[in-house]
Amino acid sequence: MTRRSISKRVAVVTATAVIAVGTVAAGAAVAGPGWSEKKPGWSEKKPGKKEIAGLFDQWNRALATGDPEQVADLYAKDAVLLPTVSNRVRADRAGIVDYFEHFLANKPVGTKIETHVNVLDHNSAIDTGVYEFALTDPATGEKSTVEARYTYAYEKRGGEWFIVNHHSSKMPEG
């Protein structure tokens, strides 16, 4: 081998190594946080099903305050609410507050009947099942109960759990 062919081979190997390192670095950047690093607010401890199920109790206590702003504080800024007694999708804070201004007039008290929790990872979980609401008509004082299916999708952001998606619909057979 001549000195020129050795230099050429070293240049090819060096170029290949630079391309490989660049490809891996680009792949890590595309994959984003979580692939090679942890997301901000990452919790080292994976939540238990009981902790996630308890988030409903926090939400139910917020309902009891009668303050729609306090209820809306439990939803992420980009949350979507598909409410039980409204045909309108609520995809921003103003819409969520508007829904709860009307819903809270009925003094709702929620009770879970059946719950299924799936902890997806350290910072996300889903709670789905059936709940019922005891309601009081503000005009007549008449009491009623509404049974509904529900799904809450939660994300932990900045160390706090927020509802990112909430779907609730009356039972179709009831």
Q: What is the pLDDT of residue 31?
A: 44
User: Rounded to the nearest 5°, which phi and psi values hold at 8?
Assistant: -65, -45
- Which residue type occupies 78? D
pTM: 0.75
- Residue 12 falls within a domain, yes or no? yes
pLDDT of residue 11: 45
3-state secondary structure at position 169: strand
Write down the pLDDT at residue 45. Answer: 80
Domain match, 84 and 21 both:
no
77/2 same-domain check = no
Residue 17 belongs to domain spanning: 1-37
As a whole number of angstroms, the distance between CA 28 and CA 170 comes to: 44
Q: Is the pLDDT of residue 165 over 70?
A: yes
Q: What does the alpha-carbon distance between residue 52 and residue 8 come to, in Å, rounded to a whole number?
A: 61
Average pLDDT over residues 22-40: 45
> Is residue 142 in a domain?
yes
Tell me the three state secondary structure of residue 141: coil
Q: Are residues 72 and 17 in the same domain?
A: no
Which of the four pLDDT bands, split at 50, 70 and 90, describes residue 69?
Answer: very high
How many domains, in total, are found in the chain? Answer: 2
The rounded Cα 42 to chain-centroid distance in angstroms is 14
Residue 42 domain flag: no
Mean pLDDT, residues 91-119 taken together? 97
Are 57 and 28 in a shared domain?
no
pLDDT exceeds 80 at position 40: no
Decide if 87 is inside a domain: yes
What was the pLDDT predicted at 32? 43
Query: What is the pLDDT at residue 36?
Result: 35
Residues 148 and 130 sit within 8 Å (Cβ to Cβ): yes
What is the average pLDDT score of the chain? 84
Judge whether 44 lies within some domain.
Answer: no
